[in-house]
Amino acid sequence: MNFLEQARQQFTEQCKLAREPEKVLRQAAWAQFERQGLPARGNEAWKYSSLNQISQKSWTTPTPSENLPAKAEALIRQWRDQFDVAVMVNGQLHKKASRLTLEAGYEFKSLAAASESLHMDFDDGMISLAAAANSAGYYLRVEPKVSFPKPLLIVHCASGDGTWTSTLNRIELADGAQMQVAEVFVGERAYLRTDVTKVDLAPQANLTWVRLQEESIKASHFSEVQVALQNAAILNLSQLNVGGEWARHSLKIKILGEHAEANVQGLTFGGDHQHLDQRVNVEHRAGNSSSAQLFKGVLKDHARGILNGKIYIARDAQKVNSSQLNHNLLMSNTAEADTKPELEIYADDVKANHGASVGKMDESKLFYLLSRAIPRAEATQMLAQAFVGDVLMKIPAKALRDLASEQVEAQLKDFVREMETLQ
């Protein structure tokens, strides 16, 4: 059974089990996919990435499992005192491994158990397919004016070899609600994960969110995140891309209310022959709003990092302040960074800017550290940490910043150690 045949089978089987709101969503997504088909490289949004290694393989549906990857177990042990912990195995909640407080005003459950309908933009055939064929996912809701001192850690585990897990998730923060969430994607062996998440932030809601993509180096990962912000809502989203042989992360933010604010930042670490693609689209549909994007990449070997970022400002969205920056550090002659910043502005009274750079480590700075008797490996790591440090400092929640910083530091140590071995 090929990839599309399996997708159709999963869609049909899940529709039989679905309740009405979920069934309507699946059918709409599948109808859209049949019109669109899988995106090809002739599609501008997929110019740098091919789906051949996904679509030309036969994937199987994972069997229920309670076994956790070693990395997931280590994360849980290390951070369970500082976080509420939800463990998802192939999209299903692992109740034994999870540690959820579930206080009043805070709800975390299977998306299929949620009665509300879910509205999404299916402007891409891969998004439509993933949403139509999903087999699991979560629903997180925080009631009005509720805030939790303890953040939530969601550990997504993939099990099995040659399996495909497709999940659909929803995060909903009501008026004035506040939440801190960290998501980590891990697994072992070769597998495919497609993950679609819809986020709705009501007026004055505040979401601080860190997403760490640390899949198996043999895995393929596709994720789509759609966020809608109402009046005075605040989003602080940080994305770390480390794992996966092939990975694509798409983020679409719609600012629909005045005084809303979206701060989005990310780090990409690629080595070997990894292909790590990111697409960020921020739409200002309301005036007196702001957004800031800061993405950095550190690439070595034959890795390829891609960022396609866009700022859209509608005609009536006056008094908008928006920026977009992408900087890339190449640590080998064969690594590649492709960056494509875009501005599409129809309003007159706005501030908008973008910038991008690709370059190697500053040899003069490295020489200065070496001249102070600092070993090359340590000096290289110091400069790389300085390069990515401002991205990490933009994470406002300490627990989330500590989690992300530790993963970044470990990644940089591996980078430098492997480079020293090859020299």
The label of the residue with tokens 């497609």 reads 194
Closest CA relative to residue 256, chosen from 222, 294, 283: 283
Enumerate the domain spans of the chain. Answer: 3-256, 363-423
Q: Residue 64: what pLDDT? A: 78
Instruction: List, as one string, the DSSP characters of 185-219.
Output: EEE-SSEEEEEEEEEEE-TT-EEEEEEEE---TT-
Torsion over CA: 259, 172, 236, 316 (sign) = negative
What are the pLDDT tens digits along the chain (423 aa)? Answer: 788 888 998 899 888 877 777 788 888 899 999 999 999 888 888 989 999 989 988 898 888 777 899 999 999 999 999 999 999 999 889 989 999 887 778 889 887 655 456 778 888 899 999 999 888 899 999 999 998 878 999 999 998 899 999 999 999 999 999 999 999 999 999 999 999 999 999 999 999 999 999 999 999 999 999 999 999 999 999 999 999 999 999 999 999 999 999 999 999 999 999 999 999 999 999 999 999 999 999 999 999 999 999 999 999 999 999 999 999 999 889 999 999 999 999 999 999 999 999 998 888 888 888 888 888 888 888 888 889 999 999 999 999 999 999 988 888 877 776 655 544
Q: Residue 418: what pLDDT? A: 60
Q: Residue 159: what pLDDT? A: 84
pTM of the model: 0.94
The label of the residue with tokens 């998306």 reads 111
With H, G, I as helix, E, B as strand and everything else as coil, classify residue 79. helix
Number of helices (H), then strands (E), belonging to the chain: the values are 8, 19
Q: Residue 422: what pLDDT? A: 46
- For residue 315, what are the β-bridge partners? none
Amino acid at the residue 78: Q
Tell me if 337 sits within 8 A of 302, measured CB to CB. Answer: no
